[in-house]
Amino acid sequence: MINWKNNEVPQPPFIASIFNYYLSDQLDGYREYDELTLELAKQMPGYLGYESFKHDGRGAFISYWKDMEAVRAWASDPKHIEAKQKGKSTWYRYYHSVIAEVKSLHLHSLGGH
């Protein structure tokens, strides 16, 4: 389920920044940075929402942004850069990221879920 900013679903087009990862066994400080960077992202101009999935050390974090300018601003945030460096050196066995343009969005709620 997507956690939209202010519970407002944006109209496409907008940007999805998709981060897929496999965690290492060295997670000192990971949870704190995970929470901190999420809170910082929520305050960035152009932030629209996020969704996250984790299972058995693998996960995906998808953040949604108004435009590429907002994505670039978030990518250059000092705490985000610090978190990325720690991720590369310690927290992740593997990761990749993809930036995609969302051209349409179809939301469905199925019977009480």
**pTM assigned to the model:** 0.91
Which tens digits make up the pLDDT trace of 46-89?
999 999 999 999 999 999 999 999 999 999 999 999 999 999 99
Q: Which amino acid is present at 68?
A: M
Q: Which domains does the chain have, with CATH numbers?
A: 8-102 (3.30.70.100)
Written as one string, the DSSP assignment of 1-65 is --EEGGG-PPPSPEEEEEEEEEE-S--TTHHHHHHHHHHHHHHSTTEEEEEEEEETTEEEEEEEE
Residue with tokens 């942004």: 65
User: Is the predicted pLDDT of residue 112 greater than 70, yes or no?
Assistant: no
Asked if 62 and 19 touch (Cβ cutoff 8 Å), the reply is yes
